[in-house]
Amino acid sequence: MPFPLVFALLLWSTTAYAQAVLELAAPSPERRRELVHLVRQDCGSCHGMTLQGGLGPPLTPAALRDRPVDSMVATIYGGRPGTPMPPWHRFLSEAEARWIVEQLRAGFPQ
Ligand code: HEC
C-alpha cells in the first residue's frame, strides 16, 4: 500500500475511534436530564439556585474560565476534604462529573 494511503487510513481509524470513545463517555439524553436536575437541586443548595454562589463559590462560565478542568472534575467526584464541598462519587461517575464541568463552563442548561 502506498504510504499516504496507509497514513490516511490510520488517521481515519484513530479519529473514528476517538469519536466512538467520546460518544460512549457522554451521558445519554435521559441521564443528562437527571444530572441537570441534580446540579440545579443539590449543588444549587450550596452554590446558589442560579449557580451564582452561596456557601460555595459561583459555578458560572466567568467564574470557572481560568480553573483547571481536571481539578474541578476531581473536586466534584471526590469532594474537597476540610471544606463543606462533599464527594459525589456515589451518585455519578467521573465521566459524568467531567460532563457537568463542561456544561458549567459553557453555561449550564436550565
Ligand atoms: C454542602 C455544600 C455544597 C454542595 C452540596 C456542593 N458544593 Fe461544590 N463547593 C462547596 C464549597 C464550600 C466549595 C469551595 C471549597 C473550597 O473552599 O475550596 C465548593 C467547590 C466546588 C467547585 C470548585 C470551584 C472552584 O472555583 O474551584 C466545584 C466545581 C463545585 N464545588 C461543584 C459542585 C457540584 C457540581 C456540586 C453538585 C454535584 C456541588 N459542588 C455541591 C460546597 C458545596
56 lines ligand 1 (CB under 6 A): yes
32 lines ligand 1 (CB under 6 A): no
Q: Are 97 and 77 in contact (CB under 8 A)?
A: yes
- Provide the 3-class DSSP secondary structure of residue 1: coil
Report d(CA 77, CA 5) in Å as an integer. Answer: 43
Pick the residue whose CA is nearest to atom 2 on ligand 1.
46
72 lines ligand 1 (CB under 6 A): yes
Q: Which domains does the chain have, with CATH numbers?
A: 28-106 (1.10.760.10)
80 lines ligand 1 (CB under 6 A): yes
Q: What is the pTM (predicted TM-score) of this model? A: 0.84
Mean pLDDT per segment of 10 residues, for the chain of length 110 residues? 72 67 77 97 96 98 98 98 98 97 96
At 20 the pLDDT is 61
